[in-house]
Amino acid sequence: MTSFEEFTEVCNKVEGISSSLEMTTVIAGFLIKVDDEELEIVTRFIMGNVFPVWSAMELGIGPSLLYTAISRASSRPVSQIQGFVKETGDVGLAAEKAMLSGKTHLNFFSEGQLSVGDVYSRFKKIASLTGKRSQDSKIKNLQYLFGVAKPCESVYIARLSIEEMRIGVGEGIVRNAISEAFGVPVGLVERGFMLTNDFGEVARTAKKEGEQGLLKLGVEVGRPLKMMLAQITTGINEAICEMGSAAVEWKFDGARVQIHKKGDKVTVYSRRLEDVTASLPDVVKFIKTHVHAENAILDGEAVALGKDKRPLAFQEILRRFRRKHDVSATAKEIPLHIYLFDILYLDGESLIDRSLTERRKKLDKVCDSEILAIQTVTGDIPEIEDIYQKALGAGHEGVMLKNPQSLYMPGKRGKNWLKIKPVMETLDLVVIGGEWGEGRRANYIGSYLLACRDPGSDRFLAIGRVATGITDEQLADLTGIFSDLVISERGKNLDFEPKIVFEVAFEEIQKSQNYESGYALRFPRLVNVRLDKSAQDSDSIERVEQLFTEQKGR
Ligand code: AMP
């Protein structure tokens, strides 16, 4: 049994180290010592994951639930816990501070008895609680954990609750630590991770079966593997210069899916490798009707089609993916089509080490053309231009150029898959509000509410929030600048005088009821703080409308 205190000590030690080599050695030393049954758990915990990333289990603990649990365990008001978070900038330190002198109700365990396994079991229980009344039970279970933990342990219970460890351990360090701990090549650990998506399983395999075991880890129907990703390219000419000739496909405007077929059982995974089968019965039906293989893993894009057969906005697809109730009604309202473009496994054979050309031949053989992405292998630039224009004309995003000789590299973004799509312009938007951050950003304004100008009324109309693209240095500078512009403050929300303009890039403009402008930005990111511009120089609602209609020829 590994005590949670020992885990806490290792985390504290790692937090104080700046060299990744040293961190790796400390973690490797710990992994060697950990009991077999707790090795998987510890390996995930150290990265801030309670469950394998692809597992359907979710803790469902937000800041307010966490603060309530700490408040109850320490007999302090929630407002004081929030104060500690603001003061320390970290939920872990805030929990420790609260528990140090707070009164605990529970003390069932004697000192040092809380094990890693105990914490995991309690988290598993919390994840299993769903439904309307689950919040209170979740709080009780979490309160219990804080109640029995020592104050130093509560740091990591709090951080694990929101799955943010803040000890600087990323995938690279865990990969190297597993390699060092069990004497197996780093490349094999990395490969294992791409195939299983879970360092816990990789660590267990490395310990129990060594190199041979890792080599045996392969593609398995029912266990999602990381998806191969695409790199953006500057243009068709450059891409063809590099590739010679390319397998050209439309870049469909939809959502990525990985589909596992095992006899009659079809499982659909989202891009984040979450099991979304229950929400997508129509995709399952397509596969059952049009895929003529017993066992297969397929890669493709699900697209929501409107009445005119053009793709609907991305948020419509998201509605389908997130839907848990009344699935069939939503499926009727937003029908999906599926376009498959790759096959990774077929009837007992892994295909990821075969070339795209070979994989595509197999795909063509087992699937009806209705559900296949059309592929044209060519090096002819005008021909590719033509495919590109047709894709845009049909409302899709652009084209993908793939190297026909390339292998399927799970989780890799490389030049074997290149995406070509029109570059979206940026918008200059006025900042009208903000929100205090959480965790590491607790003392800073972490996100900003943006607005465009309404020339008719001289007002500013909200269009979305931006939190991405802000560097740590900017975070501090901007907090300073905006502190002087605060008009009012309600809880974590702030209203600012509309003075500062942000230049913001985004993937797409969407219609939205959530903001006054009637639009929202998908994936907004800060490009520049335009101190050279005044609020009156910001973009108008007309320009937003114009960009909305122009995008993808809508
Ligand atoms: P991006 O999300 O811009 O990085 O582009 C990569 C994504 O494009 C993939 O993850 C897929 O979801 C999507 N996609 C659409 N059509 C294709 C295609 N023919 N081949 C590969 N990916 C595609």
Q: What is the DSSP string of 96-145?
A: HHHHHHSPPS---SPTT--BHHHHHHHHHHHHH--STTHHHHHHHHHHHH
pLDDT tier at 550, thresholds 50, 70, 90? confident
- The answer, yes or no, to whether any atom of ligand 1 lies below 6 A from the CB of 256, is yes
- Give the whole-angstrom CA distance, residue 139 versus residue 96: 17
Beta strands in 421-477 (DSSP E): 427-436, 445-454, 459-466
- Dist. CA 256 → ligand 1 center (Å): 7
CA of 256, closest atom in ligand 1: 12
415 CB contacts (<8 Å, ≥6 apart)? 231, 233, 242, 403
Quickly list DSSP for 394-436: TT--EEEEE-TT----TT-EEEEEEEE-PPPPPEEEEEEEEEE
Q: What separation in angstroms does the CA of 143 have from each of 29, 64, 104, 181, 420?
A: 32, 13, 9, 35, 51
Q: Is the CB of 408 under 6 A from ligand 1?
A: no
Q: What's at 444, amino acid-wise? A: Y
- Cα of 341 vs centre of ligand 1, distance in Å, is 10
Catalytic hit among 97, 207, 226, 251: 251
The structure tokens listed for 432 are 């009208």
pLDDT for residue 92:
95
pLDDT > 80? residue 440: no
Rg (CA), the chain: 26
Nearest CA to ligand 1 atom 18: 251
Residue 543 — φ and ψ, nearest 5°?
A: -70, -35
The token pair that represents 454 in the structure block: 């309404």
Q: What angle do CA 517, 520, 523 make, to 5 degrees?
A: 155
What's the confidence (pLDDT) of residue 473?
82
Where residue 60 falls (left for φ over 0; alpha for ψ -120 to 50; beta otherwise) is: left
Q: Would the pLDDT of 111 be above 70?
A: no
**Largest pairwise CA distance in the chain:** 75
What are the CA-CA distances from residue 267 to residues 53, 264, 275 (Å)? 16, 10, 7
Amino acid in the structure at residue 112: G
- If you measure from the C-alpha of residue 214 to the centroid of ligand 1, how many angstroms do you get, rounded to a whole number? 29
How many percent of the chain have pLDDT more than 70? 97
494 contact partners, CB below 8 Å, separation of at least 6: 433, 434, 435, 436, 445, 482, 486, 488
- Bridge pairing between strands 519-522 and 508-511: antiparallel
Instruction: Indicate if ligand 1 lies below 6 Å from the C-beta of 5.
Output: no
Relative to the CA of 253, which ligand 1 atom is closest?
Answer: 15
Q: Is the CB of 341 under 6 A from ligand 1?
A: yes
251 in active site: yes
Residue 228 is given by DSSP the state P
Instruction: Tell me, in angstroms, the distance from the centre of ligand 1 to residue 340's CA.
Output: 11
Angle between helices 199-216 and 171-182 (to 10 degrees): 50
User: In terms of C-beta density within 10 A (0-12 exposed, 13-18 middle, 19 or more buried), how is residue 283 classed?
Assistant: buried
Q: Separation of 59 CA from ligand 1 center, angstroms?
A: 29
Cβ-Cβ contacts under 8 Å for 343 (sequence gap 6 or more): 296, 297, 298, 299, 351, 359, 362, 363, 366
Chain centroid offset of residue 39 CA = 25
Average pLDDT over residues 441-461: 90
Query: At 249, which helix (H) or strand (E)?
Result: strand 246-251
pLDDT value at residue 234: 67
**Least confident stretch, 198-207, 244-253, 533-542:** 533-542
How sure is the predictor about 533, in pLDDT bands with cuts at 50, 70 and 90? confident
CA 481 to the chain's CA centroid? 31
Query: Which of these, 480, 530, 537, lies nearest to 504 by C-alpha position?
Result: 530
pLDDT at 377 over 90: yes
- Residue 107: is its pLDDT beyond 60? no
Residues 6+ apart with CB under 8 A from 103: 74, 75
> How far apart are alpha carbons 467 and 469 in whole angstroms?
7
Structure tokens that stand for 73 in this block: 């365990």
- With beta carbons less than 8 A apart as the criterion, state whether 76 and 103 touch: no
* Cβ of 342 below 6 Å from ligand 1: no
Instruction: Tell whether the model's pLDDT for residue 365 goes beyond 70.
Output: yes
Taken in order of first residue, the domains within the chain and their CATH numbers are 49-161 (1.10.3260.10), 233-420 (3.30.470.30), 425-553 (2.40.50.140)
Q: Mapping DSSP to helix (H, G, I), strand (E, B) and coil, where does residue 463 land?
A: strand
pTM: 0.72
pLDDT tier at 289, thresholds 50, 70, 90? very high
Query: Predicted confidence band at 106 (pLDDT cuts at 50, 70, 90)?
Result: low
Give the pLDDT confidence score for residue 554 in this predicted structure.
45
Per-residue pLDDT, 104: 58
Average pLDDT over residues 259-271: 95
pLDDT (0 to 100) of residue 123: 97
- Average of pLDDT values for 406-432? 90
Average the pLDDT over 215-234 and give the result. 89
Q: What is the pLDDT of residues 145-181, one digit of tens each?
A: 999 999 999 999 999 999 889 888 888 999 999 999 9
Measured in Å, residue 251 CA sits from the centre of ligand 1 at 6
**25-66 pLDDT, tens digit each:** 999 999 999 998 899 999 999 999 999 877 878 899 988 999
Q: Please choose from 400, 401, 412, 522 the residue to mutate so as to test ligand 1's pocket, defined by most ligand atoms within 8 A of CB.
A: 400
**Mean pLDDT estimate for the chain:** 91
- Cβ of 90 closer than 6 Å to ligand 1, yes or no, is no
Average pLDDT of span 248-257: 95
> Do residues 186 and 157 lie in contact, with contact meaning Cβ atoms separated by under 8 Å?
no
Q: Which two tokens stand for residue 34?
A: 């950990």
Dihedral sign (CA 292, 295, 296, 297): positive
Strand duo 229-232 + 427-436: pairing:
unpaired
Please state, in angstroms and rounded to a whole number, the distance separating the CA atoms of residues 178 and 46: 12
Output the pLDDT for position 195. 93
- pLDDT-based confidence at 326, cuts 50/70/90? confident
Q: How confident is the model at residue 103 (pLDDT cuts 50, 70, 90)?
A: low
Instruction: Please tell me the predicted confidence (pLDDT) of residue 412.
Output: 86
pLDDT range class, residue 109, cuts 50, 70, 90: very low
Q: What is the mean pLDDT of residues 392-408?
A: 95
Average pLDDT over residues 349-364: 97
In which band, very low, low, confident or very high, does the pLDDT at 134 lie, cut at 50, 70 and 90? Answer: very high
- In which element (H, E) is residue 303 found? strand 295-304
Mean pLDDT of 252-265: 96
What was the pLDDT predicted at 552? 53
